[in-house]
Structure 1
């Protein structure tokens, strides 16, 4: 199997558990793999221990009949249990599907069904979320992995043995992750991430985040989503670096404490998280001034106020990066020659070729707004097999749905979105699920949701609702609908504003005119 991620093209097989764990455990078994910060302590788990526990979980899965290609899902908060679940799943050639812990019942049910989940690993705190879901696959409690908040010792009940079975070698086109799209035009669809995506992940860790041997790294993003999973769990481990998990509820003061005490030098996250740090004020941030070497931003547009504040009060430039679940990161912002000034746009991540195209797929001139696309034939690190769905003309382009322009110096700058995905607090939210949840109330005749600009969250979800005849628009109904969606989907995917309207604007063919609603929001 391949041991050098920069030479994937010269090898036929590999295994994600080997890439992220075993090869490091074999050479440096006592090296730290996980740093877990809880309320009153910090725990270090080594690569050697991680390998042993991943093997034990793989044995348990095999005992349940899980085989290569089967899907194992985990509804588990960030920490050792989640990492062991992923590694143990990969070890036997199965496919891992993370479930965001803030999802509600319907969101979980849909993903379990669509991903064809064969085993569900769940934290005890989330069991009520699956209580009403019919036809569940076999369920394993996370406590059976031997990781509890009281103990960081290796588990005995999973049958650890000195003879560790090697990971299964797999073709580079074989999937190791099952993720979900944002659900722009319908319910979120599953998509498989193949092993060859490791080359793309490594390219971003080295060229975008610029993770060095000396760095202590922390990705603030939740591993239930692509940026946190690809570049918070997989990326550091594949490079033999420890990844940090914060088990506490995120707030600015605790984050500052973690950055100081864990000597973090390289930070990644979303603008929403950075705004929360800013809210603590310069005095609170003073203990970590000049400590951070690099900060990477992704998930939503990075605004100048964040860049200016961090430069002034922390002495570091925040760099804006771009990607999607279907792509991983494909565009990075490199610093100007001065090192402390922002560039005026991004460049393609090495291994990708980006174009700005018109509706016919032709490249537009410099300074002209078009759609950002990946030239698949000229992008050796491009891995998404489903890109043809975005190419009605059978062109070798992956169309991102985002509008951009190319500047005079060849960099790419975003102009806006061409789709209806809502970006709120770093999460990309498709309108269909929210509208469907609203329509479950028998008092609602029609519903449409759009993103409304918000200074702190980038956008909030605003719902426009037509009630059935005779139904009164009351404040209590507003609160009922908000809470219903929040319970059905998740805490970040409910409408923070609801407006009752007599009708929705539509085209002659009956399609909702979302741009008109956005203007009215």
Structure 2
């Protein structure tokens, strides 16, 4: 394991960053970095398994001519360097072929998550001006009512439409890659839209260096690992770190095409011999709920586990250590930044329970007050990236959309954090999620973590409910475990549990038992929906007191 401080020193003015990508940031192609560069030794590029038990393995040598063929198919439809190609596909070999073929032409891949409805798809295609959409028969109908829908290429196409396999079979299997500069985009992403309309942003080719750093230092991806990232490539964490990151290091990615469940997760780990796992706390909580049914068959199989998407609850950390005998580490990032703050599996540094970790080498992460001054340890503020001293920071703003996130040399993340004395940083919450009650600032994550530690609770979301006396009071929405039912007795038990786990002013004065919590398709809590519902209820009660 390398020393963290030494790894940070390597990134002096970006020199190590350029060297990490073979010394040339002026002639790049993402398909070359993620496929061609790794030809010659038969290494696997894709491990595929679906819900019916069908499996397949593609080496880089097998994948390359398929990619070249489909690149020629796209070129025949007018795709050129800089054009957008959208993919509305599940995790199948066709998805990976589409992504790499787009990159081979110097074009820009735009992911469309398969759970999107027509409106979400329409917004993204309207913003991107995609020239081609690649989809399958299952998702094809979502595009019927999209105005001005681009050219479609469909796996198992309708009669008279372009069919993926038929086009592939007719195309030539050689296609020279189009080289571009490090600042040229190769991905077009959209923010999750949790606080407003989804905004587009371009990811430049030089971001591949940063993705590699995360895979090497935080994930600790080793040649002998079998790696599985549970995240869907329709979202940033999956596309950056299930596809681009491992492939650019010559390491196979794993695609499981099927519904996520405790049984399917255990089956993939067992069948493919997964040793290095990445995912979200939402997925891990489902596994924990299964108890021994999940842990017993795979205990001792995993070497390391990584978590991203939302802060990792301490209870999850303890469960993975006790039940699976494996370290799970928390990682923080954004679509705009990739992963920038981590408890690194591959670097030696202190790991503080509840901390998001340390800045990934190549980034300087600071905590700012509202005036833009850097704060010392112990004071909550806004997480920011010092762009002048972060050679691997690649985000340059939203595409065609102004942003207030750049203030001087800093990028403001919008997240509230606190610097710890050891140099690590702890997540407090989204700036608009932080609760101010009776003069205290309370992070919802702390209360949620405490609630989840109670055996009756599977999931929890905590918000600040407007209150004339306390500014806000803490309200919790709780999903109960099987065998428990909501009652006043249980409410009081949960309140006392939180008071004991945290502190007197942080317990939820109101608790509502619900069957599910509002989330984005990628599994992030949407606390703002719950806040808006509470405000609407209060307005209705004020307008009609008799209904209260």
Query: For residue 81 of structure 1, what is the aligned residue in structure 2?
Result: 94
Change in Cα spacing, 1:300 to 1:504, as seen in structure 2 (3 Å) is farther
Q: Deviations over 1:433-482 (max 9, x none)?
A: xxxxxxxxxxxxxxxxxxxx986456499999xxxxxxxxxxxxxxxxxx
Query: For residue 49 of structure 2, what is the aligned residue in structure 1?
Result: 37
Structure 2 Cα separation of the partners of residues 131 and 61 of structure 1: 21
Decide whether the 8 Å contact of 1:75 with 1:99 is kept in 2. Answer: yes
Change in Cα spacing, 1:205 to 1:393, as seen in structure 2 (3 Å) is closer
Q: CA deviation at 1:389?
A: 5.3
State yes or no: 1:309 paired with 2:354.
no
Decide whether the 8 Å contact of 1:103 with 1:491 is kept in 2. Answer: no
Q: Which of 124, 131, 135 matches 2:148?
A: 135
Structure 1 Cα separation of the partners of residues 351 and 196 of structure 2: 43
Structure 1 Cα separation of the partners of residues 19 and 169 of structure 2: 31
Query: For residue 160 of structure 2, what is the aligned residue in structure 1?
Result: none
Structure 1 Cα separation of the partners of residues 463 and 91 of structure 2: 26
Change in Cα spacing, 1:5 to 1:111, as seen in structure 2 (3 Å) is farther
Query: For residue 329 of structure 2, what is the aligned residue in structure 1?
Result: 319
Q: Deviations over 1:364-414 (max 9, x none)?
A: 121000100000000000001118955577401110000111111111111
Structure 2 Cα separation of the partners of residues 239 and 78 of structure 1: 20
Change in Cα spacing, 1:462 to 1:209, as seen in structure 2 (3 Å) is same
Structure 2 Cα separation of the partners of residues 86 and 306 of structure 1: 34
Structure 1 Cα separation of the partners of residues 395 and 350 of structure 2: 34
State yes or no: 1:293 paired with 2:329.
no
Q: Which of 175, 178, 182 matches 2:192?
A: 182
Contiguous gaps of at least 5 residues in structure 1: 145-152, 422-452, 465-485, 507-521
Change in Cα spacing, 1:269 to 1:169, as seen in structure 2 (3 Å) is same
Structure 2 Cα separation of the partners of residues 282 and 340 of structure 1: 27
State yes or no: 1:277 paired with 2:287.
yes
State yes or no: 1:22 paired with 2:36.
yes
Q: CA deviation at 1:189?
A: 1.2
Decide whether the 8 Å contact of 2:406 with 2:412 is kept in 1. Answer: no
Q: CA deviation at 1:19?
A: 0.5
Query: For residue 367 of structure 2, what is the aligned residue in structure 1?
Result: 356
State yes or no: 1:503 paired with 2:539.
yes
Q: CA deviation at 1:161?
A: 3.6
Contiguous gaps of at least 5 residues in structure 2: 1-16, 158-163, 435-450, 467-517, 543-548
Change in Cα spacing, 1:462 to 1:35, as seen in structure 2 (3 Å) is farther
Q: CA deviation at 1:502?
A: 6.5
Specify the SS of the correspondent of 1:113. Answer: helix
Q: Deviations over 1:228-282 (max 9, x none)?
A: 1100011111111111111121101121121122111100000011111112212
Structure 2 Cα separation of the partners of residues 369 and 505 of structure 1: 35
Query: For residue 241 of structure 2, what is the aligned residue in structure 1?
Result: 231
Structure 1 Cα separation of the partners of residues 95 and 465 of structure 2: 34
Change in Cα spacing, 1:393 to 1:225, as seen in structure 2 (3 Å) is closer
Decide whether the 8 Å contact of 1:17 with 1:90 is kept in 2. Answer: yes
Query: For residue 448 of structure 1, what is the aligned residue in structure 2?
Result: none
Structure 1 Cα separation of the partners of residues 251 and 310 of structure 2: 26
Decide whether the 8 Å contact of 1:57 with 1:158 is kept in 2. Answer: no
Change in Cα spacing, 1:372 to 1:254, as seen in structure 2 (3 Å) is same
Change in Cα spacing, 1:265 to 1:357, as seen in structure 2 (3 Å) is same
TM, length-normalised to structure 1: 0.77
Structure 2 Cα separation of the partners of residues 456 and 111 of structure 1: 34
Aligned length, in residue pairs: 439
Structure 2 Cα separation of the partners of residues 167 and 204 of structure 1: 26
Decide whether the 8 Å contact of 2:287 with 2:294 is kept in 1. Answer: no
Q: CA deviation at 1:503?
A: 2.9
Change in Cα spacing, 1:345 to 1:95, as seen in structure 2 (3 Å) is closer
Structure 2 Cα separation of the partners of residues 271 and 367 of structure 1: 26
Q: Deviations over 1:494-514 (max 9, x none)?
A: 9799666363899xxxxxxxx
Aligned CA-pair RMSD: 3.3
Structure 2 Cα separation of the partners of residues 133 and 110 of structure 1: 9
Query: For residue 443 of structure 1, what is the aligned residue in structure 2?
Result: none
Specify the SS of the correspondent of 1:235. Answer: helix
Q: CA deviation at 1:154?
A: 8.3
Q: Which residues in structure 2 correspond to 1:210-225 (within 5 Å)?
A: 210-225=220-235
Q: Deviations over 1:166-190 (max 9, x none)?
A: 2111011000000001235531111
Change in Cα spacing, 1:129 to 1:344, as seen in structure 2 (3 Å) is closer
Specify the SS of the correspondent of 1:72. Answer: strand
Change in Cα spacing, 1:456 to 1:298, as seen in structure 2 (3 Å) is farther
Q: CA deviation at 1:285?
A: 1.6
